[in-house]
Amino acid sequence: MGQEKSRNEEMDLAQVQELCISFMKECPSGALHLHEFKRIFGVPSSSAEESLYIETIFHSFDTNNDNALDFLEYVAALNLILRGNLEDRLKWSFKMYDKDGNGKLDRHEVKRLIRIIHKINSQTSNMNMTPTQICDRIFELVDQNQDGQLTLSEFLEGAQKDEWVMKQLKLDINVTDWVVQNCGMLP
Protein backbone atom coordinates (compact mmCIF):
# COMPACT_ATOMS: atom_id res chain seq x y z
CA MET A 1 0.00 0.00 0.00
CA GLY A 2 2.80 2.44 0.73
CA GLN A 3 1.92 6.15 0.64
CA GLU A 4 -1.18 5.77 -1.55
CA LYS A 5 -4.55 5.98 0.14
CA SER A 6 -7.85 4.82 -1.23
CA ARG A 7 -10.80 7.18 -1.45
CA ASN A 8 -12.69 5.23 1.23
CA GLU A 9 -9.83 4.67 3.67
CA GLU A 10 -10.46 6.14 7.08
CA MET A 11 -8.30 8.97 8.37
CA ASP A 12 -5.55 8.10 10.79
CA LEU A 13 -4.94 9.93 14.06
CA ALA A 14 -2.24 12.17 12.58
CA GLN A 15 -4.61 13.35 9.83
CA VAL A 16 -7.35 14.09 12.37
CA GLN A 17 -4.85 16.07 14.46
CA GLU A 18 -3.72 18.05 11.40
CA LEU A 19 -7.32 18.71 10.51
CA CYS A 20 -8.08 19.87 14.05
CA ILE A 21 -5.10 22.24 14.03
CA SER A 22 -6.19 23.65 10.68
CA PHE A 23 -9.79 24.00 11.91
CA MET A 24 -8.73 25.83 15.07
CA LYS A 25 -6.47 28.10 13.04
CA GLU A 26 -9.37 29.04 10.75
CA CYS A 27 -11.96 29.03 13.56
CA PRO A 28 -10.39 29.91 16.92
CA SER A 29 -13.85 30.02 18.50
CA GLY A 30 -14.24 26.30 17.81
CA ALA A 31 -17.10 26.93 15.41
CA LEU A 32 -17.21 27.66 11.71
CA HIS A 33 -19.86 30.29 10.99
CA LEU A 34 -21.56 30.98 7.67
CA HIS A 35 -19.52 34.11 6.88
CA GLU A 36 -16.29 32.14 7.46
CA PHE A 37 -17.61 29.26 5.35
CA LYS A 38 -18.31 31.69 2.50
CA ARG A 39 -14.85 33.21 2.85
CA ILE A 40 -13.17 29.80 2.80
CA PHE A 41 -14.95 28.87 -0.43
CA GLY A 42 -14.36 32.29 -1.99
CA VAL A 43 -18.02 33.22 -2.40
CA PRO A 44 -18.23 36.91 -3.31
CA SER A 45 -20.84 38.91 -1.42
CA SER A 46 -22.00 40.33 -4.74
CA SER A 47 -23.23 36.96 -6.03
CA ALA A 48 -26.71 36.26 -4.65
CA GLU A 49 -26.92 32.88 -6.41
CA GLU A 50 -23.58 31.60 -5.14
CA SER A 51 -24.33 32.95 -1.69
CA LEU A 52 -27.70 31.17 -1.54
CA TYR A 53 -26.13 27.94 -2.81
CA ILE A 54 -23.31 27.97 -0.26
CA GLU A 55 -25.82 28.81 2.51
CA THR A 56 -27.85 25.75 1.49
CA ILE A 57 -24.70 23.61 1.62
CA PHE A 58 -23.70 25.08 4.99
CA HIS A 59 -27.10 24.37 6.54
CA SER A 60 -27.08 20.80 5.22
CA PHE A 61 -23.90 20.18 7.24
CA ASP A 62 -25.18 22.00 10.35
CA THR A 63 -26.83 18.89 11.77
CA ASN A 64 -27.73 20.40 15.16
CA ASN A 65 -29.10 23.61 13.55
CA ASP A 66 -27.07 25.99 15.71
CA ASN A 67 -25.91 28.08 12.70
CA ALA A 68 -22.31 26.97 13.13
CA LEU A 69 -20.27 23.92 12.21
CA ASP A 70 -18.40 22.40 15.11
CA PHE A 71 -15.36 20.22 14.50
CA LEU A 72 -17.36 16.98 14.24
CA GLU A 73 -19.78 18.49 11.69
CA TYR A 74 -16.79 19.87 9.79
CA VAL A 75 -15.04 16.49 9.67
CA ALA A 76 -18.26 14.74 8.64
CA ALA A 77 -18.74 17.29 5.83
CA LEU A 78 -15.17 16.88 4.58
CA ASN A 79 -15.42 13.11 4.76
CA LEU A 80 -18.61 13.15 2.69
CA ILE A 81 -17.18 15.55 0.12
CA LEU A 82 -13.79 13.88 -0.21
CA ARG A 83 -14.50 10.24 0.50
CA GLY A 84 -18.24 9.67 0.40
CA ASN A 85 -19.57 6.99 -1.91
CA LEU A 86 -22.11 7.77 -4.62
CA GLU A 87 -25.14 6.76 -2.56
CA ASP A 88 -24.06 8.93 0.39
CA ARG A 89 -23.48 11.91 -1.90
CA LEU A 90 -26.89 11.41 -3.52
CA LYS A 91 -28.56 11.21 -0.10
CA TRP A 92 -26.84 14.46 0.81
CA SER A 93 -28.05 16.01 -2.47
CA PHE A 94 -31.59 14.86 -1.68
CA LYS A 95 -31.36 16.52 1.73
CA MET A 96 -30.22 19.74 0.08
CA TYR A 97 -33.17 19.71 -2.32
CA ASP A 98 -35.65 18.83 0.46
CA LYS A 99 -36.08 22.36 1.78
CA ASP A 100 -39.10 21.58 3.98
CA GLY A 101 -37.56 18.35 5.33
CA ASN A 102 -40.65 16.20 4.66
CA GLY A 103 -38.69 13.41 2.94
CA LYS A 104 -40.15 14.11 -0.51
CA LEU A 105 -39.21 16.54 -3.24
CA ASP A 106 -41.83 18.54 -5.06
CA ARG A 107 -41.27 20.47 -8.28
CA HIS A 108 -40.82 23.75 -6.44
CA GLU A 109 -37.96 22.37 -4.31
CA VAL A 110 -36.18 20.81 -7.28
CA LYS A 111 -36.67 23.85 -9.50
CA ARG A 112 -35.38 26.19 -6.74
CA LEU A 113 -31.98 24.52 -6.53
CA ILE A 114 -31.73 23.93 -10.29
CA ARG A 115 -32.43 27.64 -10.83
CA ILE A 116 -29.59 28.58 -8.46
CA ILE A 117 -27.15 26.14 -10.08
CA HIS A 118 -28.27 27.25 -13.55
CA LYS A 119 -27.53 30.90 -12.69
CA ILE A 120 -24.13 30.03 -11.25
CA ASN A 121 -23.18 27.94 -14.29
CA SER A 122 -24.83 30.08 -16.96
CA GLN A 123 -21.52 31.48 -18.19
CA THR A 124 -19.86 28.07 -18.55
CA SER A 125 -22.82 25.87 -19.46
CA ASN A 126 -23.94 25.17 -23.00
CA MET A 127 -27.25 23.74 -21.76
CA ASN A 128 -30.14 25.02 -23.86
CA MET A 129 -32.79 24.08 -21.30
CA THR A 130 -34.40 26.38 -18.76
CA PRO A 131 -34.57 25.34 -15.09
CA THR A 132 -38.29 24.59 -15.58
CA GLN A 133 -37.53 22.32 -18.54
CA ILE A 134 -34.78 20.56 -16.58
CA CYS A 135 -37.12 20.07 -13.63
CA ASP A 136 -39.92 18.76 -15.86
CA ARG A 137 -37.58 16.28 -17.55
CA ILE A 138 -36.25 15.05 -14.20
CA PHE A 139 -39.79 14.38 -12.99
CA GLU A 140 -40.68 12.62 -16.26
CA LEU A 141 -37.68 10.31 -15.89
CA VAL A 142 -37.63 9.79 -12.13
CA ASP A 143 -41.16 10.14 -10.68
CA GLN A 144 -42.12 6.47 -11.05
CA ASN A 145 -45.64 6.71 -9.61
CA GLN A 146 -46.24 10.12 -11.21
CA ASP A 147 -47.52 11.68 -7.99
CA GLY A 148 -45.58 14.92 -8.48
CA GLN A 149 -43.15 14.10 -5.67
CA LEU A 150 -39.83 12.30 -5.58
CA THR A 151 -39.09 9.98 -2.70
CA LEU A 152 -35.53 9.22 -1.68
CA SER A 153 -35.72 5.81 -3.35
CA GLU A 154 -37.02 7.32 -6.62
CA PHE A 155 -34.29 9.95 -6.43
CA LEU A 156 -31.52 7.40 -5.85
CA GLU A 157 -32.77 4.96 -8.45
CA GLY A 158 -33.44 7.62 -11.08
CA ALA A 159 -30.07 9.28 -10.64
CA GLN A 160 -28.21 5.99 -10.89
CA LYS A 161 -30.13 4.85 -13.98
CA ASP A 162 -29.70 7.92 -16.16
CA GLU A 163 -26.41 9.79 -16.62
CA TRP A 164 -28.16 13.06 -17.54
CA VAL A 165 -30.34 12.88 -14.42
CA MET A 166 -27.26 12.08 -12.33
CA LYS A 167 -25.49 15.15 -13.67
CA GLN A 168 -28.48 17.35 -12.83
CA LEU A 169 -29.16 15.96 -9.35
CA LYS A 170 -25.71 15.25 -7.90
CA LEU A 171 -24.60 18.39 -6.12
CA ASP A 172 -20.85 18.22 -6.09
CA ILE A 173 -18.89 21.10 -4.74
CA ASN A 174 -15.28 21.25 -5.81
CA VAL A 175 -13.35 21.72 -2.59
CA THR A 176 -10.76 19.00 -2.96
CA ASP A 177 -7.93 21.37 -3.91
CA TRP A 178 -8.73 23.72 -1.02
CA VAL A 179 -8.89 20.88 1.50
CA VAL A 180 -5.66 19.30 0.32
CA GLN A 181 -3.86 22.66 0.38
CA ASN A 182 -5.26 23.92 3.70
CA CYS A 183 -5.96 20.79 5.68
CA GLY A 184 -3.28 18.38 4.51
CA MET A 185 -5.90 15.73 3.75
CA LEU A 186 -5.44 13.41 0.85
CA PRO A 187 -8.45 12.92 -1.43
| Cα–Cα distance, 150 to 135 (Å, whole number) | 12
| Cα–Cα distance, 183 to 59 (Å, whole number) | 21
The reply to whether 124 falls in a domain is: yes
Residue 137's contacts (CB-CB under 8 Å, 6 or more residues apart) are 129, 164
Angle between helices 176-183 and 13-26 (to 10 degrees): 90
The reported pLDDT for the residue numbered 170 is 67
pTM as predicted? 0.71
User: Residue 114: which of 57, 173, 169 has the closest Cα?
Assistant: 169
Q: Identify each DSSP E strand in the chain by its residue range.
A: 32-33, 68-69, 104-106, 149-151
Residues 27 and 92 in one domain: no
3-state secondary structure string across 112-129: HHHHHHHHHHCCCCCCCC
Residues 145 and 131 in one domain: yes
Range of the domain at 50: 13-84+174-183
The reply to whether 165 falls in a domain is: yes
Residues 19 and 59 in one domain: yes
Q: What is the per-residue pLDDT across 89-131, written as a single tens digit (0 to 9) for each? A: 888 888 888 888 899 999 999 998 888 877 776 644 556 888 8
Region for residue 65 given its phi and psi (left: phi exceeds 0; alpha: psi -120 to 50; beta: otherwise): left
- CATH number of the domain residue 59 falls in: 1.10.238.10
Please name the amino acid found at residue 79: N
Residues 94 and 164 in one domain: yes
The reply to whether 37 falls in a domain is: yes
Residues 159 and 179 in one domain: no
Residues 121 and 140 in one domain: yes
Q: What is the per-residue pLDDT across 124-166, written as a single tens digit (0 to 9) for each? A: 455 688 889 999 999 999 999 999 999 999 999 998 888 888 8
Residues 119 and 77 in one domain: no
